[in-house]
């Protein structure tokens, strides 16, 4: 089995929900099931509401329950939909074994929150220290630029 990669997205220009929607749409277009793992039900509720309501003509199929039937599952725990891709928000943990089992893992963090930035640095060190291939993407220029890469073969960005 080839080991997946983890992409770190340093959010500074657009809100989490906007970037997340773009990444989810691209992941679904690639045929992937996705689990979005958060730490709090409050954030998952906010994401759930935004995915239902915005944009009015752009429903993105997702759910909080339903397991394997959900193309996108919002969860604070188990990934019941057998995902190809795991998205970590608000510092939710990701293990090297989870990265190995996925096509891609994405870690989205708020660049305006020092605690979130520090948490992402620690996740980067832990995962790359375990031999996981990782890429760091920044939108500080107004578009996404890869600023750092560690280990593994390169793949195109989602």
Does the pLDDT of residue 16 top 90, yes or no? yes
Distance CA 88, CA 105 (A): 8
Does the pLDDT of residue 97 top 70, yes or no? yes
Give every CB contact of residue 65 below 8 A, 6+ residues apart in sequence: none
Candidate CATH numbers 3.40.50.10110, 3.40.50.10490, 3.40.50.11610, 3.40.50.1110; the one for domain 5-150: 3.40.50.10110
Does the pLDDT of residue 65 top 80, yes or no? no
Tokens of 73: 């599952």
Instruction: Answer whether 119's CB lies under 8 Å from 68's CB.
Output: no
Cα 27 to its chain centre, rounded Å, is: 10
Average pLDDT (83-109) is: 95
- The domain limits of the chain are 5-150
**What's the chain's average pLDDT?**
88
Number of Cβ atoms within 10 Å of the Cβ of 116: 18
pLDDT at 153: 41
Percentage of the chain exceeding pLDDT 70: 89
pLDDT at 82: 87
Looking at mean pLDDT, say which of 50-54, 77-81, 96-100 comes out highest: 96-100
pLDDT at 61: 85
């Amino acid at each position: 089995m080839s080991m997946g990669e983890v992409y770190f997205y340093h959010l500074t220009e657009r809100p989490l929900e906007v970037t997340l929607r773009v990444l989810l749409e691209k992941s679904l277009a690639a045929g992937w099931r996705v689990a979005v793992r958060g730490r709090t039900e409050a954030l998952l509720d906010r994401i759930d509401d935004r995915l239902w309501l915005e944009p009015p003509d752009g429903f993105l199929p997702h759910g909080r329950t339903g397991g394997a039937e959900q193309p996108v599952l919002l969860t604070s725990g188990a990934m019941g939909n057998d995902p190809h891709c795991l998205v970590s928000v608000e510092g939710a943990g990701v293990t090297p074994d989870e990265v190995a089992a996925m096509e891609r893992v994405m870690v989205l963090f708020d660049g305006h929150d020092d605690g979130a930035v520090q948490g992402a640095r620690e996740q980067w060190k832990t995962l790359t220290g375990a031999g996981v291939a990782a890429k760091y993407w920044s939108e500080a220029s107004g578009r996404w630029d890869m600023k750092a890469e560690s280990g593994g073969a390169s793949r195109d960005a989602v």
